[in-house]
Amino acid sequence: MRIPESTIQKIIDEADIVKVISEYIKLEKKSSSFIGLCPFHPDQNPSLHVSPTKKIYKCFSCGEGGNVVRFVEKYEKVPFPRAVQIVGEKCGINVDLGTNDNFHISSKYYKILEDSTNFYHFLLENTVAGEEAKKYLYKRKLNDEIIKRFKIGVSQPDPDLLFKSLLKNDHQPLDMIEAGVVRGTDPYTDVFRNRIMFPLDDITGKIVGFSGRIYKDSNKDEPKYLNSAENKIFKKGNLLYNFANAEYYIRQNDSVFVFEGFMDVIAAYKCDIHNTVYVETSF
């Protein structure tokens, strides 16, 4: 369903841009505007300016700027209609997006993948299996900062640990299957087990799938890497791994390194090279 232009304009006019942006980052008043650390590039000194009278924000370092809806769209990495709805909620204007919109359905899957990523990362940091996986990662010269930055995690030997955790977060089994992390029909089982989990993101930085790598000798007969199967949101040809994080550096350097594997992006990061992406070219 299309949101009428007049509704979008009304929301932009009525929303308090300073109040909305303050919910995401810390702003300080400076003469007639407000400033804060820009969340869209690695900012040391506050470069993001917010003007309550003009109702816009602008970063004087990376150039990012626009109205309040754009800020929410960029920050929350949600589709534009959803950003309009979020800002609408904050100023008491209800936006009905219907229930059959593609993005509405997709957002369920994105949330499942985000929750899965957080869960795998949690397991890596807080379990015995995680300790073993970390030893493997350290041996490959990946440190804690890199593990955190690329949201690396681990899947456990248990058949349905992720499934149970997603159920607790109110996700439906069929949605988990559609999102590519669970399979079967009661009993449901996790797709990935005993693997180091690398989340794969799309051009907007949203996680759309995983690549799981074996790290134990006892599993060495299995394929080295297991990737998410293609589904509604995971299309290998649409992957642009690391782009959302690299965008600023690509613009700064006016160049980009395109790799054929995500491990190459991580290896480059270790060498302080950040203007890198990975695209799937093998089919």
Chain positions contacting Zn ion, by CB under 5 A:
38, 40-41, 59, 61-62, 64
How near is the Cβ of 248 to Zn ion at its closest, in Å?
A: 7
Q: How far apart are CA 80 and CA 12, in angstroms?
A: 13
Q: Which is nearer to Zn ion, 64 or 202 (CB)?
A: 64
List Cα–Cα distances, 210 to 6, 27, 202, 216, in angstroms.
40, 36, 11, 18
How near is the Cβ of 48 to Zn ion at its closest, in Å?
A: 6
For residue 232, the 8-state DSSP code is: S
Helices (H), 62-172: 68-76, 80-90, 102-126, 128-139, 144-149, 161-168
Task: Decide if 199 contacts 233 (C-beta within 8 A).
Answer: no
Amino acid residing at 157: P
How near is the Cβ of 44 to Zn ion at its closest, in Å?
A: 11
Q: Which is nearer to Zn ion, 37 or 263 (CB)?
A: 37
Locate 71 and state its tokens.
Answer: 């800020």
Task: Decide if 64 contacts 40 (C-beta within 8 A).
Answer: yes
Q: Which is nearer to Zn ion, 26 or 270 (CB)?
A: 26
Question: Phi and psi of 214, rounded to 5°?
Answer: -70, 150
Q: Which is nearer to Zn ion, 62 or 176 (CB)?
A: 62
How near is the Cβ of 42 to Zn ion at its closest, in Å?
A: 9
How near is the Cβ of 147 to Zn ion at its closest, in Å?
A: 25
Q: Which is nearer to Zn ion, 11 or 62 (CB)?
A: 62
How near is the Cβ of 254 to Zn ion at its closest, in Å?
A: 17
Q: Which is nearer to Zn ion, 48 or 161 (CB)?
A: 48
Locate 151 and state its tokens.
Answer: 């949201």
How near is the Cβ of 252 to Zn ion at its closest, in Å?
A: 11
DSSP 149-216: HTT-EE--SSSSHHHHHHHHTT--HHHHHHTTSEESSSS-EES--SEEEEEEE-TTS-EEEEEEEE--
Peptide linkage before 187 cis (omega within 30 of 0): yes
Q: Which is nearer to Zn ion, 55 or 74 (CB)?
A: 74
